[in-house]
Structure 1
């Protein structure tokens, strides 16, 4: 029995090492809204979840996110691209951490620290765009190194009216 467990463990490790991309994770799937994500950082996956899909439409909702930092965060920048049919239709970027600017509780964290966040998030938009699209999100630090990167697939058929 022990030999078969060891063999199974070795096969799992070989499969993980042979895999070239991270799995797709489901953030939420309720009624007319579905959100999935996949890490686009070849070095690291991360955990991300939302309490209830429908809460996103209320503008403030609770999330949970977790990862081990591979790079320190003195400055942190976010770049978002909305992609429809393979074409970028909207781009947004913003500095989240920097000298005199600390919008997030993990600004100033060091490499190797465990980033855990559980709490409310406000998007600052009136509604989530309807349709099928990809939202590409990339966080980079002061050295222009990727801290986290993900492609979110959104299928939204919510009726806001």
Structure 2
């Protein structure tokens, strides 16, 4: 009888979770626009259904050669003794660049956030001096995924850079 009660309770809990999932208004994070000028628009959306990512791009430059400050922030759900990045750049749906890199290789912490524990808030600040002086035009899509040593997804972001 106890096994049946536990089994029924588990089924009920799973049913409630699935009903809540089906009737949610949004199953994705909102689209964040971090820069919107006459010549440049930068927007992103977290592709991790459990966690959003904070990102700023200030000041919003009028040209790609103008300096800007970047800041990324996220709350860790898992430790990052090792951290691996996978980045893809698409132009018009065609892959033009791919990079896979170990940000925190085993026993070689390259960045201050390497070795951070679950529950810590990670903030990464960087200054972007110049992207390019090439006359670029179009919508560039970036997909960035970062996983830890256990292949647990730490962050996932889809970003769009529109250059007019």
Which residue in the other structure is 1:91 paired with?
98
Report if aligned partners of 1:55, 1:61 keep a CA contact under 8 Å in 2. Answer: no
Unaligned runs of 5+ in 1: 1-13
Which residue in the other structure is 1:65 paired with?
72
Moved over 3 A (4+): 55-61, 121-130
User: Is 2:142 aligned against 1:135?
Assistant: yes
The TM-score normalised by the length of structure 2 is: 0.73
RMSD: 2.7
Alignment of 1:52-131 (within 5 A): 52-54=59-61, 57-58=64-65, 61-117=68-124, 119-122=125-128, 126=132, 129-131=136-138
Q: Secondary structure at the match of 2:64?
A: helix
User: Is 2:31 aligned against 1:24?
Assistant: yes
- 2: CA distance between counterparts of 1:85 and 1:37? 17
Following superposition, the deviation at residue 19 of structure 1 comes to 1.9
Which of these residues, 138, 157, 161, is aligned with residue 154 of structure 1?
161
Identify if the C-alpha distance between structure 1 residues 144 and 123 changes in structure 2 by more than 3 Å, giving closer, same or farther.
farther
Report if aligned partners of 1:60, 1:120 keep a CA contact under 8 Å in 2. Answer: no
Following superposition, the deviation at residue 59 of structure 1 comes to 8.0
Identify if the C-alpha distance between structure 1 residues 142 and 56 changes in structure 2 by more than 3 Å, giving closer, same or farther.
farther
Report if aligned partners of 2:65, 2:131 keep a CA contact under 8 Å in 1. Answer: no
- 2: CA distance between counterparts of 1:93 and 1:122? 21
The TM-score normalised by the length of structure 1 is: 0.75
Report if aligned partners of 1:22, 1:38 keep a CA contact under 8 Å in 2. Answer: yes
Give the number of aligned pairs.
142
